[in-house]
Amino acid sequence: MSDTETLLLGQVLDIHANPFEIPPEDAARVERRGAVLVRDGRIVDVGAADTLRAEHPQVRVEDHGDGLILPGFVDSHAHYPQTAIIASWGKRLIDWLNSYTFPEEMRFGDAGYAAEIAARHLDLLLAHGTTSVASFCTIHPESVDAFFAAAEARNMAVVAGRTCMDRNAPDGLRDDAQTAHDESRALLERWHGRGRARYAITPRFSPTSSPEQLESLGALWASHPDCAMQTHLSEQTDEVDWVRDLYSGFRDYLDTYEAHGLLGPGAMFGHAIWLTDSERARLREAGAALVHCPTSNTFIGSGLFDTARAMSEGQIVGLATDTGGGSSFSMLRTMAAAYEIGQLSGTALHPAQLLWLATEGSARAMRAEDRIGTLRAGSDADLVVLDLSSTPAIAQRVAQADDIWEAVFPTIMMGDDRAIAAVYVAGARVGPGREGGHSRPVAPLIAASLDL
């Protein structure tokens, strides 16, 4: 972290309230010529550029022109060991695991390979403007150490954990209840709270964990309640049927976790598409999070998550790539897919809602909104600067924009890593960005002022 102040100039979009609870336009403030003041890796103030420059005349300035400054994107469900198998063809969930995932995960007992993929994964995320992620590792402690070490080297705020499986997995990827508990505890004690790292107790999902293993992990979570817990829930209908057969004495899929102490604040359930009304009510009451993985849900043919319904129920909802079941490392592409699924489900999500899900919404799912995902004073200065005219197709649409939402929406729908003008992690700029010589400078937006 820098011990000096830096003033970042550009257009600043601050979504200061939940845009699902109040009109989206009222939940956001935009400064057409704004600034974010950063000191010692944290946000100190956000406001008009002229005002903050006058108040801090000696501060170092980085001017991003018409670049749009936002909180760094937060990916609340990913599988870094699947980085190398992203976009593998033609399988549904169970076949995907057996054909692609499990053979690849076998390789992560090799510490060198795990370190290579962890570095690649995090660098890909940063190149796409994602500054925080919650990731599954593999059964191998080496995979966990590699991921946390790579994140520590980049000073990224991450959540991760050793994936636990004691059945319905191949030799070399199975453990037992006691080993899962003991190795998870050792990794937790090594990494949780070290720098910006947080540990997540991580049963892959109920079909690959026996009741005994789930009970051991529930006991571990009870003794370390400040950790996260991440798993999968009701991703596909055949998976729900499989759980019903494996856990015939339980009332539903969620109960396989709940009965073993794996439901509560800090629990993150990936997918959560095929829920019963009872499950939905219990998830809300428990303060658990549902994590929407739209590119994965369509790529693997899982189903359509109803974001509008979940938010109207008062659920905590995050947004995630679910790489490599998801088909993109980009949270822009993930927002676009969430919009498309919203359309199919009957609700066109507003750009403010999409951006909020990809920042504060996901941070809330990770119980980290006090430090990441917002532009609030005191938050860590994890930031992304978007070029809203990054391609000719986007630029010609933005040239007709009448307000900030018309200007930013084309980048949500069509943007990729070319739209990432700059990325800051804890106040330090990382990577060359669009302004560092890779390509042209950030393009002007539109001549008119972009007021809400």
Q: Which residues, 6 or more positions from 364, have their beta carbon under 8 angstroms from its beta carbon? A: 289, 316, 318, 373
Say yes or no: do domains 5-71+375-438 and 73-365 share a fold: no
Question: Given phi > 0 = left and psi -120 to 50 = alpha, else beta, which region is 300?
Answer: alpha
Domain extents for the chain? 5-71+375-438, 73-365
Residue 49 pLDDT greater than 70, yes or no:
yes
Q: Determine the residue type at 29.
A: R
Q: Kind and range of the H or E element at 81?
A: none
User: Quick check: 133 and 319 in contact, CB under 8 A?
Assistant: no
pLDDT tens per residue across span 290-328: 999 999 999 989 999 999 999 999 999 999 999 988 899
Q: How far apart are CA 90 and CA 105, in angstroms?
A: 19
CATH homologous superfamily for 73-365?
Metal-dependent hydrolases (3.20.20.140)
The reported pLDDT for the residue numbered 137 is 98
Give a three-class secondary structure readout of 6-45: EEEEEEEEEECCCCCCCCHHHHEEEEEEEEEEEECCEEEE
pLDDT tens per residue across span 396-428: 999 999 999 999 999 999 999 999 999 999 999
Q: What percent of the chain has pLDDT over 70?
A: 95
Strand, helix or coil at 304?
coil
The reported pLDDT for the residue numbered 450 is 33
Give residue 444's pLDDT band: very low, low, confident or very high (50, 70, 90): very low
The reported pLDDT for the residue numbered 432 is 63
Report the pLDDT averaged over residues 150-176: 97
Residue 2 pLDDT greater than 70, yes or no:
no
193 HSE (CA, 13 A, CB side): 6
Report the pLDDT averaged over residues 65-76: 98
Q: Which residues, 6 or more positions from 412, have their beta carbon under 8 angstroms from its beta carbon? A: 332, 335, 336, 339, 351, 354, 355
Residue 1 pLDDT greater than 70, yes or no:
no
Residues across the chain:
452
Q: What is the pTM of this model?
A: 0.94
| Range in 41-55, 90-104, 222-236 the model is least confident about | 90-104
Residue 443 pLDDT greater than 50, yes or no:
no
Give residue 452's pLDDT band: very low, low, confident or very high (50, 70, 90): very low
- CATH architecture, domain 5-71+375-438: Roll (2.30)
Residue 431 pLDDT greater than 80, yes or no:
no
Nearest 5°: the CA angle 115, 324, 230 is 80
The reported pLDDT for the residue numbered 439 is 31
The reported pLDDT for the residue numbered 329 is 97
Give residue 433's pLDDT band: very low, low, confident or very high (50, 70, 90): low
Q: Cis omega before residue 324 (within 30°)?
A: yes
Give residue 20's pLDDT band: very low, low, confident or very high (50, 70, 90): very high
User: Quick check: 194 and 152 in contact, CB under 8 A?
Assistant: yes
Q: How far apart are CA 104 and CA 97, in angstroms?
A: 10
The reported pLDDT for the residue numbered 448 is 30
The reported pLDDT for the residue numbered 274 is 98
Q: How far apart are CA 182 and CA 162, in angstroms?
A: 11
Q: In what order do the strands lie in the sheet with 428-430?
A: 42-48, 28-39, 5-15, 60-71, 383-386, 420-425, 428-430
41 HSE (CA, 13 A, CB side): 13
Nearest 5°: the CA angle 341, 419, 445 is 105
Report the pLDDT averaged over residues 330-354: 97
Q: Determine the residue type at 252.
A: D
Mean pLDDT of the chain: 93
The reported pLDDT for the residue numbered 99 is 86
Question: Given phi > 0 = left and psi -120 to 50 = alpha, else beta, which region is 65?
Answer: left
CA-CA-CA-CA dihedral for 313, 161, 120, 83, to nearest 10: -60
